[in-house]
Each structure stands twice: as C-alpha cells, then as structure tokens.
Structure 1
Amino acid sequence: MGETRADLVAAEDVLLFVNAAITSTGQREFHSVADEQDFSLDFLHSYLLGNYRELYASALALDVNDHNAALIARNLLATSAQAAPDRRSLEGRLIARRLAALPPPRAYRLFRELRRTRVNNRRTRAIMRDWLAARPDLAFDAVKYRDGVKSAVRHAHLKPEGELGTFLFAPFRPAGYRTPILEKWRQAHYTQAAIFELPYTVAEGFAARRGLSRADFLERIAPRLTQLERLRLQESARGLKTVSVRTELSAMPLTRLASYVLALSLDDRAARRAELTEALRAAARRAAGEQAGSWGRVTAVLDDSFSSYGSGQKRRRPLAVALACHFLLEALAGTYTPTWVSGRTDALLTYPFGATPLGERVLDALGTRPERLVVVSDGWDNSPPGLAGEVLRVWQTRLDPDRTCAVVHLNPVYDAAGFDVRRLAPTVPTAGIRDAENLVALVELARFAEGRSGFAELRAHLARRVETFLGEGR
C-alpha cells in the first residue's frame, strides 16, 4: 500500500524537528537573534510532542545536541500522564540513557528546571534518584556542583546518609570529614595548600578570595585540570611566562579541536602547522573508524564566507564544523578534493570572509566528477542568489539523472524564520549538523529528506537507532 498524504507530512515534520534539534541551541546566529531561535525551537518541540510523541521521544537516540536533549527530557517528564501505558517504560529508558550521556552541569541544570516548574511525578523522582546513584563520585559532585546536587536531592525526596547529607545541608558542623574531597573543601577555608587539591572551578573561587596571582594559581592547579580545562586555559596561560598548561591535542574531539585551532591567530597556526595538522588528522581518523578510506572519490564544498563567523555566542562555530568535516572527509575518502567557498586552498589558515558564491564552487566541485559531493554550508547562497540550487537542479535532471554522484548538504545553522535549516534545492538531501563526528550518521538520515524514502522507512530507521542507543541492537 502506498503512503498517504498524512504519512508524507509526518515524515517532513519529524525531519524538520530533527534538523532543528541538531543545530539550534537557542543562541544567536548570524542571521537571527536568540529570541527568534527560542521561539522557533519551542514551537517545534510543542508541535512534535503533541502530534508525534513516540517519534519525539525517539529523537533522544539521534545526534540532537545537549540543549535539545534536555528540553525533550523535560517535556516528556512534564507530560508523563499523557504517555501511552505501553510506551512509558521505553520513554523512561530513553530519558535515563540520554541523561547519562549529558555533561553533569547540563543534567543538574535540568533538575533545577524541573524543580522550578514543579515537575515532581514518580517517574521524574525515580530517574533523578537513579541518575544520582549512578554517579561515579557523588562527593566530588557535591563539591563541584553543590547547589545542583542539593536541589536534586531535595526535589527527588532523597535523604543522603552519612557525611554527604551533612556536607550538603550543614557543611561547617563537623570538625572534620573522613571523605578526602570533603575534608579538602573544609580545609581550603583555612589553609592555602588545600585549595590545590580541589577541582579547578572550585579552587578558582578560593584562589580569588585569597588574592593569589593567576600565574601561581595555574602553575599549582595544573595537575588537577581536565583535558577540556587544559584546552581552554592553554592559550591564556601561554602569556604567563612561568606557567605550563599543556594538553594532548590529538586526544581531543574533532570539532572541538577545530574550534580551538580557529581561535588561534593566523601566525600561530602557521608556526604550529605540523602539530595542529597532525592533531586534526588523528582526531579525524578516530572519528572515521572502520569507514576510513571507503567512500571513494569525494569532493567537498566548504563554506568559509563571512557568515561562517556565526555570532558572539557561537563564535566561528559554522566554520569549525566545516574545518572538522574537511579533515573527516579526507579520512573517509579514497580520493578527496576540498573546495573552499573563498577560493583559498590552505584549510589550516581559513577564516570567515567575503560573500558566498556557492553556485560557482558547486560547478567547480562537479567538474571533478566525484562519486560523492558533500556541501557544508549555512545555505545562504548570495553571489548570485540561488545559483547553487539551479546548478544542482540542472545537474540532477539533465546531466546525471541516474544519480551516479550522491549529493548531500550538511547545514550547521538553524534558520529560525524557516523552522528548518536552509536548503540549496528541493532535490538535494539536507540535514542539520552540529559536530562533524556525526557526519556519517547524518548522511544516512539526509536521504529521508530527499523524498525517495518514505515514512515507514524513517520509522524503521528511528527504531534501529533506539535499539542501538539502548544497547539492544546487538
């Protein structure tokens, strides 16, 4: 039986939401302010929750960003009574599994929001209780995220036993703690040496109150830094001659590493070319995994126009995604040809500048006769407007009707006014992208946006992703 009009609309609605949930974080973008992003995103969440609750919950198994994962979890928990009885268990497992993958600050922020909005049903309390019980070191959390732990414990109606309960609600009552990190926190109020046994963010506050110099503080806290903290501090510490804060760049996630590279000056990038290039290639090889070298002839059109700067809140994020995709596609391809919108050829020295002549670059890319053409751009084709879409239309209808070249558009920017990521052409599969590491999965998802795969296939795809996400697809 063929698919009905309702099935086609449902597929479009789900893909619309997934693109938004992957790309938008409710922050300002180059072409839209934060309020527009929030309004557009809230509408899509409400619409999908109300009309396709099952598929809305399944989105937790996809590559949606942490901001939207937390919104989905909050909305599902707030409307627990509306869940079908045979779906409640699966919803609960999806929420619990996704919360386990969230950074702790994001999870604690969600718990505070649930408390503020008085979402306190039995399922919410059980999920919070189990999440806290699964934390590897709740005493560490109590020191680093004290207000978050305290709020979660109160909201879930928990009664921590022993020193943890005392620390949360009467921290200065004991003369000492047997738990080492709790005792170090107590001692840090009286002795300077104890400060450097605490997590960086906690120690920083103590150091500021004691008037310690930044250089001395960074030098002594360096052994306690996490990888991400090292990455963030490495450049600020570079200017302090006595400080050595180093991190192993090749161990960093690809897109985050690309953001770090773009934050460096062009002179620094040129001076550290070998180090940075090798680190990016190592991260790309890790992300490619078993698919490395299996994609045949690949050509990429990568957007480094001025709009790839993003915004003050998401500085150079679109360009970072393009740079990370460049190195990942290089690892995936048998033969790889990059085409930057600006015409530059040195990926490491790229920066946001100029108009967006996507049409010209797509023509150049198709001239290489690739098996795959991947366009990474915000879709604002403006030099001249609409040329890229027309080029691709003619290519697919007249020159390559058999689709021997697979074309896909990956867009790192959510268009709040259009409730979707901007598309180059109706016949070109388009998916939102936030992290280059998800590129392979998003290329598969994008084919549903082309209209040649139906709603039944989309539901089956989501079911497989849910099984894999929950560890049931083996």
Structure 2
Amino acid sequence: MATSTETIRTGTGADLVAAEDVLLFVNAAITATGQREFRSTAYQQRLSLDFLHEYVRVNYRRVYAAALALDINDHNAVRIVQGLLESAADATAEEKRTEGRLIAARLAKLPPQRVYRLFRVLRGAKVNNRRTRAIMRDWLAARPDPAHDAVKYRAGLKTAARHVHLRFGGPGEPGETGDFLFRPGRRPRYRHQLLDAWRRAHYEQGAVDKLPFTVAEGFAARHGMKREVFLERMVPRMTRLERLRTQGQRSAGNDVRLPTDIDLTVMPLTRLALYVLSLGFEVRGLHRKELTHALRTAARRAAGPHAGSWGRVAAVLDDSYSSSGSGEKRRRPLAVALACHFLLEALAAPGAYIPLWTSGGTDPLLVRPWGPTPLGTRVLDALEHGPDRLVIVSDGWDNAPPGLAGEVLRVWRTRLDPDRRTAVVHMNPVYDADGFDVRHLAQGVPTAGIRDAEDLPALVEIAQFAEGRTGTAALYAYLDRQVARFVSGEKAGAHREQA
C-alpha cells in the first residue's frame, strides 16, 4: 500500500474527489449490510452497495483492498474479498501480493460460516485461479480442528475441499475427516470423538449432547426430545451467544433472569448493549446494578489507553422511534447509541460527561425507541455546556423541526466557534441507500458511519479527514499505516465471538 496513493494524487481537485469517494465507501462498508433499514428496503440497500463496490473497485482498487484493514463489517469484508478474487486479471503483480496478505488476514478474523459461504460463492462463480486456491488451502490448513468443521460446517467444508482438491489425512487420523465427508458409510466407527458422536446421534439420543449446538438441534427434533430438556443438556456445549439466545426458553414461564453461567463483563460492548435492550424494563430495573457494572466494564475495556483523555464531553444520543431499526436489525441503532453512551463516559474526564437523549430521558438503562428526533434542540443544550467535544450519535433524520440541527451547527461553526474550540463529530449507524452514504447533518461537521461503538475512537480519527483540514495525503498515509498494522497482526480489536 506504500505506493498505492501515488496513482490517485493527480491534482488538488482530483485529490478532493478521491478522498470523498474513499470516505463515502468506508462509511458504507462500516454501516451497510444489505438488509432492510428503517427507511429503506433490502433491495435498495443491496442495489446501492452493488454500485459502490463496483465503482470503488474499478477506480481505486488499492484503496478498495485497503478497506479490509479498517473496521468495516463482515458483510462488506466478504464482498471485497470476492470482488478482488473475481477480478484478479485487473491487478498488477504488486497489487496481488498486497491483496493476498490483506485477504488472508481478514479471512482469519471472519466467522467461519461466512468464509465457507464465500468459498461456495467463489466455486459457483467458477473463480478457480491459482491465487484463490492457495488462499482457500491456507485458510483451511489454519483451522484448529477440521473434524469440528466437518460436523458443524459439513456442506461448506465439502465444497471448499472439492474446489481446491484438498486431501485429508495425517498422523493419528489417516483420512478420517475425508471419509466422513465423502464416504460416510465406509467406517463402522471413528476415532475422533466428535465424528463418532455424529454417527451415533442418528440412532442414540445420548450422543446428541456431544455435538455442537446447531448440529444437535436437528438430531434432538428427530428424536422428539423436549426443548427444555435438550437446552439444559446442551448448556456446556453452547457458545456464550447461544446461551444468551436461548436464555428465555430455558427459564420457567416468564421468569427471565440474568444468566448465572455467563460473565457479562467480558462481552463486546455493542453486543452487550443489544442484549440489555432485549430484556424487559422490569428485568433491567431489577438487575440494574449488574447490567450497569457490565456495561461500564466493557466500555472501559473498549476505551483502552484513551480512557479519561477526552476532557469535557457532551453527547447527543438518538433514541427516537427510528432507532428501533428494522426486523433484520432490530434496535441496532439504539444499541449503538447506548453503547456509545457508556464508552463516552469512559473516554471523558472524570465527572465531565453530559449525555442528552433526544427523548429527554435520563435513565440510559431504560431507553426505548420513542418519539420524534429533536436533534437541533439537544445540540443547543449540549453546546451551552461548552464541551471540548460534542459527539452526536444519530441516523441524521432531524425532524423536530426539520433541519434545525444543521442550522445550529452551521451558525456555531461559522459565527460562534470559528476557532473550533469545540470538536464536533457525528456518528451515524444507519446507511442511507438513496444517498450512497450515511446521512450528514451539516457541512463542516464530519460524519462517520459506525456499527460497533468499540470502534468510535478510531472512527473519530477517520472523520477528521472529512473536515478537509488534514489533507488527502494524510488520509492515504493513514490507510497505509492501517494496512501495515493489519497484515502484521498488530491491529487492535477483539475477535468477534463465533455464533
């Protein structure tokens, strides 16, 4: 990536257009997932994303690849990998080397089910060049337990193995996994416990709870096992997310309690916020102390070395009705706002944080999507406190009255604070399919897309490039640094828990 920026530095006007295109794509790749949003359909989302991916891949290929090193979501990471591999003929030898390292590093961070799905798409598209096969073989070779994948992701592993002509077998396990996948009736039993448990589960109910949860569910239904009994037996085999998802089914009646077998404090901040919002108000109130402690612990961990370093911080947080999201992304915008609330509390100096919810509420643990979006009024309230930083977390649909927030910010920036004593940034968790970007509030106020609150400090750094004060050279240098850190394994950020 070190020389990638030279190809698009052709002049001041071209630099500006290129930088705007890069930031627009990054915002989309962070927030958009091709799913229905509150104000746009899934079809509109996919159509908009298709155009952006094609446009950036063709015009800024190296920047397109560099996006894999940023905090983009898994959906767009897979789209980028697919686009790069399908268009390998358009890349130079140097680009292929850089792309190969980026792809390998990104695949290692993706959930395995997404990677197997990608391999199936590549096989269906007949992408069978040498580089693609090498990438697939390297990823498969790095999997910690092929037998586990053979049971849990059987179809995906079979497809990938066929595509790269993978040969199974090794010391202590001569071809067992291969026989399991392609010759299931050849062996009367397997030495690997998981493979043999799958074989026995066809006729032995006691073997069901030795399997991964998603695989065991099908066998439990076949044996007619009661759901409650099955779930209790499967608890030791479940991931943390699976235990949370089935918590209500394992509880008696409507008595939903916090799980005693899960340490909520180790959960990622945004995912924890989603879980909290999935609980009823009564449960949240009853377990206020435990939930608040878990959220603050996760926020301090996400803040890392930035904790307490942001001075006086004011936040305008959107809990209007549109923060309910959609059926596919239920309460996601509200969860991002809730997670940002606790993260900003950790980033601010002690006692120097002022949260302002659009609904006027003061209890973050009991927020709900409700009412209009009076961003302008809340921005005025926040600026009265004279903060060092103002962070706005909203989908940008200011409607009470429409446009007031943009006008307030324009006057503040041009008339009242031209020296920019207060840094203002807008974090938007919702992709606007019609605008090919996240919705902005005002010119001169940087807006960045956000999906996980944990990425907020890094996204604030990216947002500064949208102000036009740092220059395009700084933007490209930033991308170069991120690529170097990412491929060397130095990039910060926790692995997402596998579903």
Say whether the fold is shared (TM-score over 0.5).
Answer: yes
Q: Give 1:79-228 correspondences, 5 Å limit.
A: 79-161=87-169, 162-228=175-241
Give 1:326's aligned residue: 341
Among candidates 76, 79, 85, match of residue 71 of structure 1: 79
1:315 aligned partner: 330
Structure 1 residue runs of 4+, over 3 Å off?
A: 239-246
Residue 68 to residue 262, structure 1, CA distance change in 2 (3 Å): same
Cα distance in 2 for residues equivalent to 1:302 and 1:150: 47
Q: Distance in 1 between matches of 2:167 and 2:148?
A: 18
Residue 17 of structure 1: which of 15, 22, 25 is its match? 25
Whether contact under 8 Å (2:247, 2:256) holds in the other structure is: no
**Residues 1:152 and 1:398: Cα distance change in structure 2 (over 3 Å):** same
Q: Deviations over 1:223-256 (max 9, x none)?
A: 1111111121223322368997732111111000
Which residue does the alignment assign to 1:468? 485
Q: By how many angstroms is 1:470 displaced?
A: 1.2
| Residue in structure 1 matched with residue 251 of structure 2 by the alignment | 238
> Does the 8 Å CA contact 1:309/1:318 hold for their aligned counterparts?
yes
Once residues 112 and 2 of structure 1 are traced to their aligned partners in structure 2, the CA distance between those partners, rounded to angstroms, is 40
Q: Residues 104-140 of structure 1: CA distance to partner in whole angstroms, max 9, x if unpaired?
A: 1111111111111111111110000000000011110
* Structure 1 residue matching 2:431: 3-state secondary structure: coil
CA distance in 1, matches of 2:218, 2:413: 59
Amino acid at match of 1:282: T
Corresponding residue for 1:441? 458
How many aligned positions are there?
Answer: 474
Aligned to 2:397, the other structure's residue is in SS state: coil
The one-letter code of the counterpart of 1:449 is A
Q: Distance in 2 between matches of 1:221 and 1:107?
A: 26
The verdict on how the C-alpha distance between 1:198 and 1:348 changes in structure 2, with shifts beyond 3 A counting, is: same
User: 3-state SS of the aligned residue for 1:159?
Assistant: coil
* Equivalent residue in structure 1 for 2:70, among 48, 62, 65: 62
2:389 is the counterpart of 1:381: no
Q: Against the structure 1 CA distance between its residues 242 and 101, is the aligned structure 2 distance closer, same or farther, given a 3 Å change threshold?
A: closer
SS in 2 for 1:86: helix
CA displacement 1:136-155 (0-9 Å, x = unmatched): 11110110010010011111
SS at match of 1:418: coil
Q: Distance in 2 between matches of 1:115 and 1:41?
A: 22
Q: 2: CA distance between counterparts of 1:81 and 1:352? A: 48
In structure 2, the CA distance between the partners of 1:242 and 1:26, relative to structure 1 (3 Å rule), is: closer
For residues 188 and 237 of structure 1, do their structure 2 counterparts lie closer, same or farther at Cα, with a shift above 3 Å needed?
Answer: same
Counterpart position of 1:413: 430
CA deviations over 1:75-110 (Å, ceiling 9, x no partner): 000011111111211100100100000001111111
Find the partner of 2:368 among 333, 343, 351: 351
Question: Is the partner of 1:301 in helix, strand or coil?
Answer: strand
Paired with 2:70 and 2:482, the residues of 1 have a C-alpha distance of 7
Partners of 1:3 and 1:454 within 8 A in 2 = no
Deviations 1:355-408 (A, max 9, x none): 000000000000111000000000000111110011011111111111010000
Query: Normalising by structure 2, what TM-score?
Result: 0.93
Measure the CA separation in 1 of the matches of 2:124 and 2:155: 14
Q: Which amino acid aligns with 2:297?
A: A
Counterpart of 1:342? 359
Q: Which runs of 5+ in 2 are unaligned?
A: 1-8, 170-174, 492-499
Q: Structure 2: how far apart are the matches of 1:40 and 1:422?
A: 14
**What amino acid is aligned across from residue 91 of structure 1 in structure 2?**
E
Select the residue among 422, 427, 431 that pairs with 2:448. 431
Q: In the TM superposition, what is the alpha-carbon distance from 1:473 to its structure 2 partner?
A: 6.6
Closer, same or farther: CA 68–287 of 1 in aligned 2, 3 Å: same
Q: Determine if contact 2:314/2:356 at 8 Å carries over to the other structure.
A: yes
Distance 1:3 1:445 in 2: 22
Alignment partners' CA distance in 2, 1:395 and 1:238: 52
Q: Contact (CA 8 Å) 1:219, 1:245: kept in 2 or not?
A: no
Whole-angstrom CA distance in 1 between matches of 2:260 and 2:96:
48
The reply on whether 1:306 has 2:357 as its aligned counterpart is no
**Cα displacement (A) at 1:3:** 4.7
Check whether the contact 1:301–1:339 (CA below 8 A) recurs between aligned residues: yes
Secondary structure of 1:294 counterpart: coil
Residue number in structure 2 paired with 1:39: 47
Q: Is the 8 Å Cα contact of residues 36 and 326 (structure 2) preserved in structure 1?
A: yes
- Secondary structure, counterpart of 2:425 in structure 1: strand
Deviation digits for residues 271-294 of structure 1 (CA, Å, limit 9, x no counterpart): 111111111111111111111111
Q: How does 1:446-457 map to 2 (within 5 A)?
A: 446-457=463-474
**Quick one: distance in 2 between partners of 1:51 and 1:470?**
23
Q: Structure 2 matches for 1:277-296, cutoff 5 A?
A: 277-296=292-311
Q: Select the residue among 26, 31, 35 that pairs with 1:27.
A: 35
Identity %: 66
Letter of the 2:210 partner, please give it.
E
Q: What amino acid does structure 1 have at the position aligned with 2:130?
A: R
**Could you tell me how far apart the structure 1 residues matched to 2:158 and 2:215 are?**
16
Letter in 2 for 1:72: I
Q: How far apart, CA to CA, are the structure 2 residues paired with 1:129 and 1:45? A: 26
TM-score (norm 1): 0.98
